[in-house]
Amino acid sequence: MRTGTEKEKRSRGRPRGFITEEVLEKVRGVFLAKGFTGASLDELSAAAGLNRPSLYAAFGDKEQLYIATLRFYGTKSIEGLDAILAGPGTIQQRLARVYSAAIDLYTAPPHRPGCMIVGTAAVESPTYPKIAEAAAELLAAIEKSLERGFAASDLPRKPAPAARARMAGAIMYAIAIRARLGAKAADLKAFANSMVPTICA
């Protein structure tokens, strides 16, 4: 897939009137709110400010567009995760910051969307194996990021960083689910804060 940012030699014909990443950002809002099946191409192209043929030429069909959006969202999220985990403070403080930032995104108005992977990709998994595969890869990458954070900390080596990462990831997924089902940010933050010492024990 072309990213639109590569400064490859200007191709010959009429240039694109959009930037791929901007389209993915706009489309993400629709997929995040409605899910893959629930989002119609009318809504998607309206949100993107593009006509359907342009979407199709750029991304292929709806499934490929969804997967591109999911990977874009996941990659951005993991970058944010890495950044917070590489920041200052104890691992407890950084982990708490990770949860706080996640909860702010998960409970953002107006939809309290939760996480795109947990909240929208999971439901399609049995029907669309490629979506399941992309989602599983992203969850694995999230846990790898957490594992790096724990490995670089001064926590005891037992439990292993990978085990701590699985646990920290599980708590994050649960928060995402509860956010999408309407849980209040304050409750989720209290829960997250109560889990940090357990994960870092």
Partner DNA sequence: TAGGTTTTATGCGATACGGTACAGAAATAC
Partner DNA sequence: GTATTTCTGTACCGTATCGCATAAAACCTA
| Residue 50 touches which member of DNA, its own copies, none, C-beta under 5-8 Å by kind | DNA
Q: Is the preceding peptide bond at 110 cis, omega within 30 degrees of 0? A: yes
Q: Residue 35, interface with its own copies (CB under 8 A)?
A: yes
Q: Binding segment for its own copies among 3-11, 89-97, 98-106, 158-166 (CB under 8 A)?
A: 158-166
Among 24, 178, 196, 200, binds its own copies (CB under 8 A): 178
**Residues near 119 by Cβ (< 8 Å), separated by ≥ 6?**
32, 35, 113, 176, 177, 180
Q: CA 119 to CA 134: how far, in whole Å?
A: 14
Which of 184, 28, 20 lies closest to 109 in space, CA to CA? Answer: 184
| Residue 194 touches which member of DNA, its own copies, none, C-beta under 5-8 Å by kind | its own copies
**Residues near 90 by Cβ (< 8 Å), separated by ≥ 6?**
153
Q: Residue 173, interface with its own copies (CB under 8 A)?
A: yes
Helix (H) or strand (E) holding 24: helix 20-38
185 — phi, psi (to 5°)? -55, -40
Q: Binding segment for its own copies among 44-52, 61-69, 148-156, 171-179 (CB under 8 A)?
A: 171-179
Q: Residue 174, interface with its own copies (CB under 8 A)?
A: yes
Q: How far is the CB of 117 from its own copies (least distance, A)?
A: 8
Among 33, 55, 67, 96, binds its own copies (CB under 8 A): 33
In three-state secondary structure terms, 12 is coil
Q: How far is the CB of 33 from DNA (least distance, A)?
A: 13
CA atoms within 13 A on the CB side of 31: 31
Q: Residue 71, interface with its own copies (CB under 8 A)?
A: no
Interface residues with its own copies (CB under 8 A)? 33-35, 37-38, 111-114, 118-127, 132-133, 135-136, 139, 159, 163, 166-167, 169-171, 173-175, 177-178, 180-183, 191, 194-195, 198, 201
